[in-house]
């Protein structure tokens, strides 16, 4: 299980170095098997600065490259060969300067001064995927005009730095399969270490979560009470599905979870916060306004979120609507019932 130190500090006022916290958690029985440094952008955008493209001409020895001069706040502009189709004079861009390390997955490249088709290149004008600031590789990032030339990229694109604890949980510690569970043990360890009672668990507030009457009532029926003694849900309306804010994406990334959209990310956030698995369904796709927990007949076909049709066995616990299965309980959502950009 991965635990983010920044996230953990939301629930306990602790400023100990991560290495010391690792020792304290291990002393409580939550054995820290590994401690890793985390950056929301690998390399923390070091060496990447805002530049302004002063000139842009076609490369004489290529049908797709351009030769640019770029002001990055130094004494002289840089000569940079760029292959992006959208590069043009007057743009504000992000430039990886000489000796900058750029990460692509687990591999990295170091920007060097060199020649490309016979022309000197002293850096790299970057696309967002080359800086881990997005997924697009259709062209370079074009910045707003008010971005200041020479400013570090991290000034406009803050990088979160964190530590991640890899905890090896034993079967008897299901109470600690979350950040709040780990924080509870850390509070006890801190108070014992310092012979004090000043540390306490800081629980998140739910004051802003309004509970009002809804006309979108959905019934929950548990048919297989042996496999699932209890199943509950809540209807949330008036939502707008979209990209999650940076803080939420960073929290999830630190513990190895890829951001999908704000609704799916919230369910994963709650899972990692309190240890409660959740799944979001599109209420409009719950046929019969009924959620039924049961097992399906052997060989029942079911298409999961990844588009793969699977054959269920009679022991697979399923979350169904009135007509068909929607989710393999606690394992995999279905393609037809998931949240989409049209979900409200």
Domain membership flag for residue 203: no
Domain membership flag for residue 201: no
Domain boundary among 156, 175, 209: 156
Tokens standing for residue 48: 């990447």
Domain membership flag for residue 267: yes
| Nearest to 1, CA basis, from 227, 250, 256, 244 | 256
| Nearest to 105, CA basis, from 248, 258, 215, 323 | 258
Contact 45, 159 (CB under 8 A): yes
Are residues 122 and 224 both part of a single domain?
A: no
Domain membership flag for residue 200: no
Cα-based distances in Å from 39 to 108, 254, 255, 316: 15, 8, 11, 39
Tokens standing for residue 337: 């019932």
Are residues 322 and 227 both part of a single domain?
A: yes
Are residues 60 and 144 both part of a single domain?
A: yes
Are residues 247 and 324 both part of a single domain?
A: yes
146: domain CATH number is: 2.40.50.140
Domain membership flag for residue 262: yes
Are residues 139 and 228 both part of a single domain?
A: no
Domain membership flag for residue 109: yes
For 96, the domain range is 48-156
Domain membership flag for residue 188: no
Are residues 329 and 226 both part of a single domain?
A: yes
Domain membership flag for residue 96: yes
Domain boundary among 138, 156, 174: 156
> What's the number of domains the chain is made of?
2
pTM of the model: 0.83
Domain boundary among 114, 135, 156: 156
Are residues 124 and 223 both part of a single domain?
A: no
267: domain CATH number is: 3.50.40.10
**Pairing label, strands 290-295, 219-222:** parallel
Are residues 136 and 241 both part of a single domain?
A: no
Are residues 233 and 325 both part of a single domain?
A: yes
Residue 262 makes CB contacts below 8 A (sequence gap 6+) with 241, 242, 243, 244, 245, 248
| Nearest to 263, CA basis, from 234, 287, 243 | 243
Contact 111, 100 (CB under 8 A): yes
Give the three-state DSSP class for 217.
coil
Query: pLDDT 10s digit of each residue in the chain, 344 long?
Result: 999 999 999 999 999 999 999 999 999 999 999 999 999 999 999 999 999 999 999 999 999 999 999 999 999 999 999 999 999 999 999 999 999 999 987 788 999 999 999 999 999 999 999 999 988 889 999 999 999 999 999 999 999 999 999 999 988 998 999 999 999 999 999 999 999 999 999 998 888 777 776 677 899 999 999 999 999 998 888 889 999 999 999 999 999 999 999 999 999 999 999 999 899 999 999 999 999 999 999 999 999 989 999 999 999 999 999 999 999 998 899 998 888 888 87
């Amino acid at each position: 299980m991965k635990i983010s130190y920044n996230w953990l500090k939301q629930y306990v006022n602790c400023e100990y170095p991560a290495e010391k916290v690792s020792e304290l958690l291990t002393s409580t029985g939550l054995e820290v098997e590994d401690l890793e440094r985390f950056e929301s952008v690998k390399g923390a955008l070091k060496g990447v600065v805002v530049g302004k493209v002063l000139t842009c001409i076609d490369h004489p020895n290529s049908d797709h490259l351009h030769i640019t001069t770029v002001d990055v706040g130094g004494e002289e502009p840089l000569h940079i060969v760029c292959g992006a189709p959208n590069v043009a004079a007057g743009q504000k861009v992000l430039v990886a300067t000489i000796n900058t390390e750029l990460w692509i997955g687990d591999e990295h490249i170091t920007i060097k001064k060199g020649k490309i088709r016979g022309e000197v290149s002293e850096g790299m004008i970057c696309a967002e995927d080359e800086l881990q600031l997005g997924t697009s590789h259709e062209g370079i990032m074009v910045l707003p005009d008010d971005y200041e030339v020479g400013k570090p990229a991290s000034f406009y694109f803050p990088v979160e730095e964190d530590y991640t604890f890899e905890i090896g949980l034993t079967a008897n510690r299901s109470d600690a399969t979350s950040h709040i569970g780990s924080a509870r043990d850390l509070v006890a360890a801190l108070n014992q270490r310092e012979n004090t009672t000043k540390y306490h668990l800081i629980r998140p507030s739910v004051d802003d979560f309004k509970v009002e009457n809804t006309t979108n009532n959905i019934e929950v029926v548990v048919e297989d009470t042996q496999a699932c003694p209890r199943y509950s849900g809540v209807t949330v309306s008036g939502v707008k599905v979209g990209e999650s804010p940076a803080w939420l994406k960073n929290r999830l990334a630190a513990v190895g979870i890829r951001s999908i959209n704000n609704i799916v990310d919230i369910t994963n956030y709650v899972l990692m916060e309190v240890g409660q698995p959740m799944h979001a369904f599109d209420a409009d796709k719950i046929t019969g306004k009924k959620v039924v927990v049961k097992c399906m007949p052997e060989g029942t076909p079911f298409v999961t979120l990844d588009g793969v049709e699977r054959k269920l066995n009679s022991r697979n616990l399923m979350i169904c609507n009135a007509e068909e299965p929607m989710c393999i309980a606690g394992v995999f959502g279905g393609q037809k019932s998931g949240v989409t950009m049209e979900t409200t």
